[in-house]
Structure 1
């Protein structure tokens, strides 16, 4: 582990888990944001997800624009971190032929039949995002919860 990685390591935390089912037509990010606000989750992550989507909005690596996909898609994976002020989520999907694609999840992803999500929360920590001089992006900052 590099010195920089050691400096960004966080203290140990307990965790609790929440189960959430999104319904057909739900827009995923708005529902996740509402759930986090309702439960005041400060350091959360997607522990598991399964379901399907009709509309998918992805930002591919190294690109600024959002790619919109419309059709029938199975969710292969959804992972990332969530906090009250934002999220960093990556989504992988497959089409009816099994071809997969994925990228950074953007607003505009719509549930087709169901989206079953398990959300974990680190109870002794808070997440935030701040500009990083190394990456040039707003990146995760981990702090103890007081």
Structure 2
């Protein structure tokens, strides 16, 4: 039987920000993580709209690019200075939902309002996982 590592706890700090029309979401979040020196952050809340959406669907290698009018239903995941792991769910004007791994190429339509949490005493990184075959989340205390 596999056991899980001991769960870590930490105090948190929250940031509120708004992305503007025309801004590319992925690069803005990466720049914000760098600027604020975030080592273990996550998307605590997000609402807004996009004109361009870039998703990688489950089990697929390539990125699907969509253009139109989309409402952000959910954006969640982790951020650190060296990268991010984000999932995005949007709806089109007919209410059809699409979602997957968020990739570079998502553009803000009217606004993207975000609350980002940062775990002050932890650091996230990515390390190879023999079980999944991917680089997966590694959590460590900040020394």
TM range, smaller chain:
over 0.9
TM-score, length-scaled by structure 1: 0.96
1:13 to 2, 10, 14: 10
User: Matched residue of 2:94: which SS?
Assistant: coil
TM-score, length-scaled by structure 2: 0.98
Partner residue in 1 for 2:97: 100
User: Matched residue of 2:139: which SS?
Assistant: strand
Give the Cα separation in 1 of the matches to 2:95 and 2:87: 18
Q: Structure 1 segments of 4 or more deviating over 4 A?
A: none
Kept in 2: contact 1:10–1:143 (CA 8 A): no
Partner residue in 1 for 2:141: 144
Deviation at 1:118, TM superposition (A): 0.4
Name the Cα RMSD after superposition: 0.9
User: Matched residue of 2:33: which SS?
Assistant: helix
1:133 to 130, 136, 143: 130
Size of the aligned set, in residue pairs, is 143
Relative to total residues, which structure has the larger helix share, 1 or 2? Answer: 1
Identify unmatched segments of 5+ residues in structure 2.
none
Give the Cα separation in 2 of the matches to 1:104 and 1:53: 15
Give the Cα separation in 2 of the matches to 1:23 and 1:10: 37
Identify unmatched segments of 5+ residues in structure 1.
none
